[in-house]
Chains A and B, each alone.
Chain A
Amino acid sequence: MRLAVLSDIHGNYEALEACLEQIAAAGVDGYAFLGDLVGYGPDPGRVVDIISELNARGAIVLKGNHDEAIERGADRMTGIAAEAILWTRIQLNERQKAYLAQLPLTEARDNVMFVHASAARPETWPYVDSTASAVACLAASGTRLTLCGHTHLPRLFHQLPGRSVEDFVPVANRKVPFSSARRYLGVLGAVGQPRDRDPRACWVLLEPDGLTYFRVGYDFDATMRKIKAAGLPEWLGTRLATGR
């Protein structure tokens, strides 16, 4: 079973398209989208349509905090994020909004837990960005592998039973083999708004024997032009060029 896992697409059609092309070339048996389909980016409707279509054909699709904010409001978000949510809400039609509203927070399959933020109280959207938060997430998931997103920073935590949780920054396109003695917690990089100073879109290939963090270059100039044309905050475009 080869599964393509993507997170934090954030309405970036160009980045999603580049990932899907590479995934099609690699050949996979299924897809999982770990939430934040919309927010920040200029193509929320188009992205929702593509992903809901894959969902109808069996893909796992989860809800992120930006997807939730479409329905519940952006009062817990910072200025630029909240501004983008207000804009996005106008762009989406009723069907697309209803689709986002019904998405689940978690899904577990074959000893793998999928979640947007953390398996520990996922509805409160905690970040897995430290050893302590990884410990909490691993304790709550109970599965051998947990995959999440939300931070936009690729990380791979691993742990031998009864030992401390170890932290690793995955190297692009280099498969990390699983050891059957360990548990793993993979935090995905973002498809649509990378923040680890690598502007390339990130997706992850899950295979029975390991995990590969792929990075794909895409036409972020096109996305930047659309962000500007849409009247969204300009920083949402310029950050794409540097991956910050």
Chain B
Amino acid sequence: MIDSPRVLAPGLEIDQFRLKERIFTGGMGSIWRVDLTDDSTLSTGGSEIILKIPFISAGSDVAAIVAFEIEEMIMKRLYGPHVPKVYATGDLSKIPYIAMEFVEGAPLSSMLLGVPVSPEEVLRVGRLMTRAVADIHRQHVIHLDLKPANIIMAKRGAVLIDFGLARHDELPDLMGEETRLPVGSAAYMAPEQTVGDRSQPSSDLFAIGAILFELASGVVPFGVPVTTHGLKQRMDIDLATLTPKLSVLPPGLAEIILRCLEPKPENRYPTADQLLFDLNHPDRVVPTERLTRRPKRWLERLGNWWAKPPPEPRRKQGNMAQHLALAPVILAAVDLSHGSDQLAESVRLYVRRALEAEPFARLACVTVLKSKVIGEDPLHDSEGRSAYHGRLVALKEWARPLASDDDTISYHVLEGVDAGATILDYVVNNSIDHIVMGARSSSTLRRHLGSVSSKVVAGAPCTVTVVRLRAGGETDQSELPEEAESP
């Protein structure tokens, strides 16, 4: 083991890396730019490499060892655009290090110099962050220490760094019971983390909410408490006290941020993908009583405190995959160009079955309005607007039997030349988990040209349920040429 950080100096070779320049020193370790040694066989595709080297020596803080163990275990298993690529790691019993890609870009913390930023910018950053968080959640990892300094805004999107406090829900939590005190960054830490609960994916959504709050208002929502007691106060926070600081925001965005900051995990968004969905459609977010509640009087608060049993850290294992599966975003793509026909009704039946099976699902109903000429935007003339509104009314009418509460269902009239491509674009941008759509019965012409549903099936990155009426059920539609089909 390295017994002192002083030993590290430019020129020192560690395995296949040669230290070049120290770019960061913190309490737990240092970060170096490195070159590959001459005999290195590593192929990095030209990207610059950094070495993160923890300060670990006899008698050093066990937290540094644990943070390294966790980061090594988790970063080696993460992949994709939202994490730095790891090239090699050094063992704790020799020289511990993590060799990873240097991510070009600015940390989100550098943006805080200009707060508050515009609502559009809050939404843009929110979407980038949430997309990254959704990606690691899908890989069973909860970050648990999201803060502006740990989010790099790179060309390829938001890149999350520093996984020293993270949790992989299918691997042992190396953060032991005795070290499981509130660890994380006080300003952005979720209430459940203050009592040692490290099992909630929505702890990351709370941190996103706190960051968005700061971007939008210029201040962090709960201050930066320095004591454990101060930290735990956010478990009882009255969201109504935060609302005035968000009053300049569009109500939809304020609602999104407040929902992320709900003290109880179950009152936040069930998944990052559902948060992303709202960030993509803030105008469709229906403000709830979150925005209109008045702060509780001190006597009411006292009553709350009196009635509340002491919080128990919840310990759950292996629940993330199940959790994500229970809260999908379902897309119902329905062709209303012929009104709500038999096929549209059948699509609705299958959508209802999917919703019944998945209690926390949310539903996006879309229909495509075809624009005839590329570049022409029919929404800008009165005829186009009326077509748009007519279709929106028809879509809501079609979905009416499905609607339970406005929170979980939304309506979108998309516009495009190619219905299949338009649907696919929407699916990718909104991390849709499951598409339910209809297919017209087969005809020679459609087989020749390829149908909308087959295009969607071929290109969709998710499950697709294609609903088709039994042969004979739809004779009047089956001879329509491809041009007439527009879900």
Residues of A within 8 A of B (CB): 156, 158, 160, 162-164, 166, 168-169, 171, 174, 176-177, 179-182
Contact = CB atoms under 8 A, between A and B. Distances in A.
Contacts of B92: 179-181
Contact of B73 (A156, A162, A164, A179): A179
B93 interface: yes
Contact of B170 (A171, A179, A180, A182): A171
Contact of B62 (A156, A160, A174, A180): A160
A171 B69 contact: no
B114 interface: no
Contact of A164 (B72, B171, B174, B176): B176
Interface of B is mostly: loop
Contact of A171 (B73, B178, B318): B318
14 contacts: A158-B174, A160-B66, A160-B176, A166-B173, A166-B174, A168-B172, A168-B317, A177-B73, A179-B69, A179-B92, A181-B69, A181-B92, A182-B69, A182-B174
Contacts of A160: 62, 65-66, 176
Contacts, number: 50
A168 B318 CA distance: 11
Interface in B174-217: 174, 176-179
Interface residues of B, number: 21
Given A156-B172, A174-B170, A180-B91, A164 B62 contact: no
B178 A164 contact: yes
B178 A163 contact: yes
Contacts of A164: 176-178
Contacts of A176: 171-172
Given A171-B318, A176-B171, 7 more contacts: A158-B172, A160-B62, A160-B176, A174-B170, A177-B73, A179-B73, A181-B92
A134 to B, nearest CB: 13
Contacts of B62: 160, 162-163
Highest count of chain B CB atoms <10 Å: which of A156, A169, A179: A179
Given A160-B65, A179-B73, A180-B91, A174 B177 contact: no
Nearest to A168: B172
Contacts of B76: 177
Nearest to B69: A179
Contacts of A182: 69, 174
Contact of A169 (B73, B93, B174, B317): B317
A163 B176 contact: yes
B66 A177 contact: no
Highest count of chain A CB atoms <10 Å: which of B76, B176, B179: B176
